[in-house]
Amino acid sequence: MKRRKLGKSNLEVSAIGLGCMGLSFGYGPAVDKLQGISLIRAAVERGVTFFDTAEVYGPFTNEELVGEALAPFRKDVAIATKFGFHIENGKQAGLDSRPEHITQVAEASLKRLRTDVIDLFYQHRVDDKVPIEDVAGAVKDLIQQGKVKHFGLSEAGALTIRRAHKVQPVTALQSEYSLWWREPEQEIIPTLEELGIGFVPFSPLGKGFLTAAINKDTQFDKSDFRNIVPRFSAENRDANQAVVDLIVEFAKQKKATPAQIALAWLIAKKPWIVPIPGTTKLHRLEENLEAVSVELSRDDLRRLEVAAAKIPVQGARYPEELQKLVGR
Q: What integer pLDDT is reported at residue 150 of this predicted model?
A: 98
pTM of the model: 0.98
The percentage of residues in the chain with a pLDDT greater than 90, rounded to a whole number, is 100
Report residue 250's pLDDT band, with 50, 70 and 90 as the boundaries: very high
> Residue 35 in contact with residue 234, Cβ under 8 Å?
no
Cα–Cα distances in angstroms (integers) from residue 317 to residues 61, 66, 104, 228, in the given order: 26, 27, 31, 10
Average pLDDT over residues 121-149: 98
Please report the pLDDT score of residue 54 as a whole number.
Answer: 98
DSSP of 58-78: TTTHHHHHHHHHHGGGGGG-E
> What CATH number is given to the structural domain containing 24?
3.20.20.100
CA–CA gap between residue 40 and residue 148 (Å, rounded) = 22
- Examine residue 314 and state whether it is found in any structural domain, yes or no: no
Question: Mean pLDDT, to the nearest integer, of 20-27?
Answer: 97
DSSP string, 221-268: -TTBGGGG-GGGSHHHHHHHHHHHHHHHHHHHHHTS-HHHHHHHHHHH
122 is catalytic: no
Average pLDDT over residues 51-68: 98
Residue 260 lies in a domain: no
Task: Please give the average per-residue pLDDT across 85-97, as a whole number.
Answer: 95
Beta pairing partners, 178: 181
Instruction: Supply the range of the domain harboring residue 286.
Output: 3-208+266-295
The answer as to whether 312 is a domain residue is no
Judge residue 235's burial from the number of C-beta atoms within 10 Å of its C-beta, 0-12 exposed, 13-18 middle, 19 or more buried.
Answer: exposed
- Residue 273 to residues 10, 224, 250, 252: CA-CA distances in angstroms? 14, 28, 22, 25
* DSSP code of residue 184: G
User: What pLDDT does residue 314 have?
Assistant: 97
Domain membership of residue 53 (yes or no) is: yes
- In this structure, the number of other CB atoms found within 10 A of the CB of residue 287 comes to 19
For the chain, how many structural domains are there in total? 1
Tens digits of residue pLDDT in 100-124: 999 999 999 999 999 999 999 999 9
Residue from 27, 57, 122, 177 carrying the catalytic annotation = 57
Give the confidence band of 52 by pLDDT, cuts at 50, 70, 90: very high
Distance CA 114, CA 109 (A): 8
Domain assignment present for residue 244? The answer is no
